[in-house]
Structure formats: structure tokens, C-alpha cells
Amino acid sequence: MSTAIEVAGLRKVYGDKPAVDGLDLEIRTGEVFALLGPNGAGKSTTVEILEGFRQRNGGEVSVLGHDPAHPTREWRERLGIMLQSTSDQFLLTPREAITHMGRLYPNPRSADELLHAVGLDDKADAKPRTLSGGMRRRLDVALALVGRPELVFLDEPTTGFDPEARRQFWSLIESLRDDNITVVLTTHYLDEAEYLADRIAIINAGQVAALDTPGGLRARATDAVVTWRENGEERREVTATPTATLRELLATTEGEIEDLSVVKPSLEDVYFQIIGGAQ
Amino acid sequence: MNRPSWTAIAVDRTRVELKEFFRSKEQMIFIFAFPLIFMALFGAIFGGEEVAQGVSFAQYFLAGMIATGIMNTGFQSLALGLATDRDQDILKRLHGTPLPTTAFFAGRLATALLVSIVQLAALIVLGVVAYDITIPTTADAWLTFTWVFLLGTGASVVLGIAVSSLLRNARAGSAILTPVTLFLQFISGVFIVYSQVPSFLQNVAAVFPLKWLAQGMRSVFLPPEFEVAEVSGSWQHGPTAIIMGVWFVVGTIWAVRSFRWQRPEDK
């Protein structure tokens, strides 16, 4: 499998404070790759270096076979970038914005196709001021996709979305996977990373603290939580062997066990474990 | 693969910039209404007074307002627009696309030229209708108008781009640029007849392009007899071309070297 992005020993210093401190990463062609991490962990800095917006202080970086420190037009044609920020000073309608942006690329997607893909068909010619925040974000996605990129960066794409809009957005990203487009997603939402990503890197203190599939990350937590009610009192047991706990319970209890549940640890539990453990 | 040509991109950028300009009320008011209102205001206050034999203040002022209009569009409005766009990550967004930097600049320059032409046409019409200004008829005068206009706009635009990179953000930009342009307008023969400006301020004004732009426009719109009333006794076309030309070249180098797509803290 070929690689879309290779990063080795990446360093970025602000003043004398390292924001990225020897980060290694390899992202494969065609995968949806999520970067998770607390604010200030270095994930935005890393992504902006990959996008060719920031200069690094050290390390080797290759994005689609090119060093992003020296962006060229040909390289930019193969990328799609959705920034974290969205402008409220927009003066073009969604259709105009997509059409004009498309004219910068050799083989752009049509505005109609994209507007449909992001669910803005009926807002195609709407005054920009009438678009909601979520609609503008979807327009941002469309703009990132207009040049038929091989690699797309999505920086916190669903911040401020309602649950329904988030679901719609997710299915849009899944359709990208079908086109064999590499997607690099930064997000604060663990459920989003878990749902969309093939692999997740958890960034902490400027390094990759963990890198695995969502299932692999979840499996790192060995303990399960068994809860039930006994004589009206809530009982809770954290155990590496929930089956044994259950067996014991069944042997000692007559009839139904009240409010019985066995909960496997969530990705969130693992996340906090990794973040906490690395600090 | 059919990579769009540089020209096609520059033309399309001009189209985008023009659309955005004509949809932005603040810009429209600043660029179109402001010079007309000033023209009408100064015309009403001083219009009857004569600057020299047969030349009314309104006539003199028209040339100055044309120069100021070119500077407003090319320099002030452009610099503030860029600072705002940088603040809002609009430039960063463009930097993430294959848009060539020079095509982006060309789009801004073409937009400034086209907007200025509309603006100047409005001013000239007002001058003719309200203040008896005669439009020059000789090819010579229009040739002068053309090169003064092009050099003045060119110098304004490259300096506007260069200065925009010094502005930390749009709000600071407005606070810094407005006094600077007002100062230049007062000493460069726009609001005050240049020969009445104290000579040490004339010397300051002579360093900057606005004075030469205004004088060049006077050479087009004032009767030839007025030439002797100029401080130097001449329209000074040679020095005008050289000084604005030097600013254009220096400004271009400065603009290209200092231009930033991103906010200063964002690098």
C-alpha cells in the first residue's frame, strides 16, 4: 500500500517552546486518518505544516511525494484544504464560490454535482448572508473538493453542527473513501473519529501518543465495568475478567439480577487514559 | 489535464474581485460617494473663488479629487481590504489553492483600474455638469491622462499591497492609514492649493506619488495658462513619470517580498 504522507522527527518551536517535538507519522493512500488530541497538543500545527502553511524547524516531511515547505502550483492542484475557520464576510453565492474556485484547477467538479453532494441544492443561489454556520461549513467542504483532490485536509469540520448535520456530513466523508481519496481529519469529537477513521493518531505534547484503528485503541483498555443493584444498593466492579465476575454473581443470586450491565470501555476512556498517562 | 492559463485565472480573479466590490456597500460608499460628496462640498464652499486667472477652485479641486480617488481605490481601500481578508483567513484559503500569486496581484490591479475608471468618469461628469469644467479634447492631453492614470494606479496598488503586510489587522489598518492619506491629501495639493502649502511641507509631499499624480491631473484638466502658476512654473511631466515610476518599481519589489497570505502570528 502506498503512502500519502510521511513525517519523521517533525519539530516546530514557538519561541523556545516546542509545539511539535519529534513527531512521526505515516498516512496511507486512500485511508481516512483522524488526528485527535487536546488543544495545544500540536495537531493543528502539524496539519498546517503538512498543508504548506507553516514552516517546520526540523524533521522530514513528504506530502504526496513533495516537501510542503515549498508548495508549487502542481502540488496544490492535488490537495483540498478545509480550514478550521470559516469567513462571515462571504460575498459570493455558493454556486459562484464553487465555480470560481473550480477555475483554478485543471479538471474541476461541476458546481451542481458538488452542491448536491453537500446538500446545498436549494441554497445554490442564496445570498451568502442567509447561510447558516453549518451550511457555510458544508460549502467549505465543497470548495475543498472542487479540484478533485487526491488528499483532503479537514480541520475540525463539524464544530457547531447539530447532530443531524453531523450525520449528513459523515456520509459525505464516507463517499470520499469510496473514491479512494486520502482524508486527514482533525477533530475534537471522539465519536466522529471512531465512526469515520480507519486509523486514529492521538497527539499529545507534540508527539504521537498512540496510533491504531478505533477498535485497536478501544481494545487497549482491558478493564470492563460491571454494575448491578443488590438490596437496593448500586454495586460497581471494574474488572479485567467480567465473565468471572458475572459467573460469581449468577451463582450467588436467585432469579433476576437487578439493573445488570457490563460496559466495555469507550474510546473516550482510552483517550483520557492516554492523554493523562502521557502528561 | 488542461491546466488553466495564467491569463484565464487573472481574468477570473478580476471578475471575482469586481463582484465582491460591487456587493460590498462600505466599499461602494467609500469609493464612489466619498469623492463626489467632497467635490460637491468643496465646490459649494470655495467653488466661486479663483485659484488663478480663469481657474476656479472647483476646477483645481477636481484634478486633486481625481488623484485622491485613484489613491483611495488603489492604495487605501486595497490595503485595508487585504488586511481584512488576511484577518479573516480569506487569503490563507486562497493560498491553499493553485492560484499563482502574480495572478492574484494582477486581479487586484485590474480591479483597481476598472473601479477607478468608473469613479473618475463620475467625478468628471459632476465637474462638467456642476462646475463648468471643460474636458480636454486634444489627443495629447488624453495621452498624458492615460500614463498618469496608469502609473498612479500602479504605484498605489503595489504600495497598497506592500503596506497591507505591515498592518497587524484591519482595525489597526484603518487607524494608521486614514491619518497618513489625509496628511498627504492636505500637503499634496488636493484640499489646499499646492502653491499655498508651506515649502517645507511641499518638499515632504514631493517625495510621495500623490503630489505628482495631482499635478499630472492638473496638467490634463486645467487650461495651459495655469502651468506658470505651478510652484515650479512647469507641469514637470518628466519628474512626474520618473518619481511615480520609481515608486512603482520599488513598491512592486517591496510588495512581492513582504506579502503575507496569513496573519502575522500564524506562521
CA of B176 to nearest chain A CA: how many angstroms apart? 22
DSSP string computed for chain A: --EEEEEEEEEEEETTEEEEEEEEEEEETT-EEEEE--TTSSHHHHHHHHTTSS--SEEEEEETTB-TTS--HHHHTTEEEE-S---S---S-HHHHHHHHHTTSSSPPPHHHHHHHTT-GGGTT--GGG--HHHHHHHHHHHHHTT--SEEEEESTTTT--HHHHHHHHHHHHHHHHTT-EEEEE-S-HHHHHHH-SEEEEEETTEEEEEE-HHHHHHT---EEEEEEETTEEEEEEES-HHHHHHHHHHH--SPPEEEEEEPPPHHHHHHHHHHHH-
Residue A62 confidence (pLDDT): 97
Who among B9, B23, B92 is closest to A83 (CB)?
Answer: B92
User: Are residues A169 and A141 in contact, defined by beta-carbon separation less than 8 angstroms?
Assistant: yes
Which of A89, A96, A100 shows the shortest C-beta gap to B90? Answer: A89
Interchain contact, A74 vs B90, CB within 8 Å: no
Q: Are residues A53 and B3, on separate chains, in Cβ contact within 8 Å?
A: no
Tell me the nearest-neighbour CA distance from B267 into chain A, angstroms. Answer: 5
- Candidates B113, B119, B203; CA nearest to B152 is B113
Nearest residue, CB atoms, B97 vs list A54, A101, A107: A101
Task: Answer whether B23 sits within 8 Å of A91, measured CB to CB.
Answer: yes
Within 13 Å of residue A44, how many CA atoms lie on the same side as its CB? 14
d(CA B73, CA B144): 20
Per-residue pLDDT of chain A (279 residues; tens, 9 = 90+): 689 999 999 999 998 889 999 999 999 999 999 999 988 889 989 999 999 999 999 999 999 999 999 999 999 999 999 998 887 667 899 999 999 999 999 999 999 999 988 888 899 999 888 888 888 888 999 999 999 999 999 998 887 777 887 888 888 888 888 888 999 999 888 889 999 999 999 999 999 999 999 989 888 877 788 888 888 888 888 888 888 888 888 888 888 888 888 887 778 888 888 888 544
Q: Is the ipTM of this complex over 0.95?
A: no
Q: How far is A174 from chain B (nearest CA, A)?
A: 23
**Cα A171 to Cα A8, A34, A164, A176, distances in angstroms:** 32, 16, 11, 9
Residue entry with cell 473663488 = B49
- CB-CB: which of B4, B24, B267 is closest to A55? B267
Does A13 reach chain B within 8 Å, measured CB to CB?
no
Locus of grid cell 495621452? B143
What residues in chain B have per-residue pLDDT under 70? Answer: 1, 47, 267
The ranges assigned to domains in chain B are 6-266
Size of interface A-B (CB pairs under 8 A): 70
Chain centre to alpha carbon of residue A27: 13
Question: Does the predicted TM-score (pTM) go above 0.95?
Answer: no
Task: Calculate the CA B237 to chain-centre distance.
Answer: 18
Collect all residues from B whose CB is shorter than 8 A from any CB in A.
1-4, 8-9, 12, 15-16, 19-20, 23-24, 84-85, 88-90, 92-93, 95-100, 262, 266-267
Question: pLDDT value at position A279?
Answer: 41
Instruction: Inspect the interface and report whether the beta carbons of A91 and B262 lie closer than 8 Å.
Output: no
Q: Which residues of A touch B23 (CB under 8 A)?
A: 91
H and E: helices and strands count for chain B:
12, 2
Put simply, the answer to whether B96 touches A107 (Cβ < 8 Å) is no
- Of the candidates B240, B22, B180, which has an alpha carbon nearest to the alpha carbon of residue B111? B22
- Predicted confidence (pLDDT) per residue in B77-119, tens digit: 899 989 988 988 899 999 999 999 999 999 999 999 999 999 9
Predicted local confidence at residue B207, as pLDDT: 93
